[in-house]
A and B are shown apart, each in its own frame.
Chain A
Amino acid sequence: MITQGIVIAFLGSAIAIGLSCSGSGMGVGIAGAAGVGVMIEEPEKFGLVLFLQAFPGTQGIYGLLVGFWVLMKTGILGGSPIPLSLDQGCQIFFSCIPVGVVGFFSGWYQGKTAAAAIGLIARNPGGVGKAIVMVTMVETYAVFSLLASLLLFNAITL
């Protein structure tokens, strides 16, 4: 039976996946454009560029993880959804917010940092370690948001 709670849980899952993947798409796009610019002059830097470009893609994975977990736990994925109350639906919705919103912004801004890091390795390949540290700093907050979403979701009694 489709209850109001299930609809809200759907929305939560959609936000977790949709927003975080959008942020990742933007981030990977920005870093990719910078990478292509570098590879025009130095095609041999493909490996390093790809590595840095991939960083903003993780937010999408985190969002997908939370979204799928919501769909699985609520039985939506199996085809027999649990009849959730409106309260439970709202709880699921709010638990999806951290990974969705933080995923969007951190993916986008990590893309900018990755593009700047690609600029750094273009000029100075020896700086790759420092470049990775800078890009990873943004990742920290995406990981926190994933953790927050998982903890919040785990606290909901279904």
Chain B
Amino acid sequence: MFKYFTADTNDQEEYAFANGSVKSLEKGLLNKDILDRMIKSGDIVSALKILSESDLNDYSFDLNNPSDFENSLNKELLHTYDIIKSISQVSTFNFLYFTFASKYDFHNIKILIKSKYLKKDISNELLSPIGTIDIEKLNLAIKDEKYENIPDSFEFLIKKTFSEYNKFKDPEMIDFVLDKERYVMIFNKIREIEIIEAEELFLKRFININIDLNNIINCIRAKIRGEKKAFIKEFLIPEGDFKIEKIIEIYDSPLSSWCEKLIYTDYKNIVETGVNYFQRNNSLMELEKLRDNFILNFSKIGKYITFGIEPLIGFITAKENDIKNIKIILSGKLNKLSPDQIKERVRDSYV
């Protein structure tokens, strides 16, 4: 009984502060109404005006140079991550920060390794400043193979990516290897930290859903590329809820029949609709949209929880989703896509 009191009250004190911050940050998230008005607006400047004139004071754009919206959105994302970092005082929150921010480390590593092998200079705009490791240090490690300033775990994965690339000489291999290594690193970290059972359930489920969807989409990509079963075995991430043996088992059957094999899983509709769309339009756009919506809808539980990591996970997912939606709408406006075409690409909203 006393143990229960201590654990419960201590955790709440830790959560209360971060959750309070997140609740007030949630006010800046985009709702469906704003998204619809932006989609229906005549051009990129009107869309930006709708965003700037709404109650959301998070975004600031240079209306004289509307095509520079990416820069403003990246700044906003960086600002969000700075806030999350500043309120992540507890070990679980630090881990949470790593889980989300490491995505940008891996993005940077992918770009730097590709630029090294493809011998192409890249502009700094392609690299994200959000990651947990400084870009310069990563650059030094990848270009000059000087690993003194980066953690050992990153040194190991960069060397592994080099050797895998040298084996296959295929740039897409870099993506496959690094996608897998990211989750391996997250699971190694999760074993290092002490988290209470209720947190662990949600956190693990969230990561597992990401892994499952990553595995399924990577398999569909590999299938479309005509890869052999042996190839996917190497790069499937084993920690997901949906066992990789089952994916390997269905790999050789035609894509259209995959949804029948996934009938008892949560992912049946995603695969069915996504594959149908691919067969009609030769694009994985719908599959990626359904994946993002599935993860966002799972994170929505954070809206109803007062104390815990759920509101933080929900908020980060929602903010990234908002920024993705704004980019889709503004790029659509810039490329003169019709409102219907833009609407087809836009993800659900968290609010």
Contact = CB atoms under 8 A, between A and B. Distances in A.
Interface of A: 26, 29-38, 40-42, 45, 108, 112, 115-116, 118-120, 122-124
Contact of B24 (A30, A41, A115, A116): A41
A43 to B, nearest CB: 11
Interface in B1-54: 9, 12-13, 16-27
B93 to A, nearest CB: 12
Provide the main secondary structure of the chain B interface.
helix
Contacts of B12: 30, 112, 115
B104 interface: no
B17 A37 contact: yes
Contacts of B9: 26, 30, 108
Contact of A115 (B22, B87, B307): B307
A116 B306 contact: yes
B16 A37 contact: yes
Contacts of B24: 37-38, 40-42, 45, 122-123
A38 B16 CA distance: 10
Given A37-B22, A118-B23, 17 more contacts: A26-B9, A34-B16, A34-B20, A35-B20, A38-B23, A41-B21, A45-B24, A108-B9, A115-B12, A115-B19, A115-B20, A115-B306, A119-B20, A122-B20, A122-B23, A123-B23, A124-B27
Contact of B17 (A26, A33, A45): A33
B39 to A, nearest CB: 24
B13 A123 contact: no
A99 to B, nearest CB: 20
Nearest to A49: B20
A37 B13 contact: no
B306 A119 contact: yes
Nearest to A113: B306
Contacts of A35: 20
Nearest to A29: B13
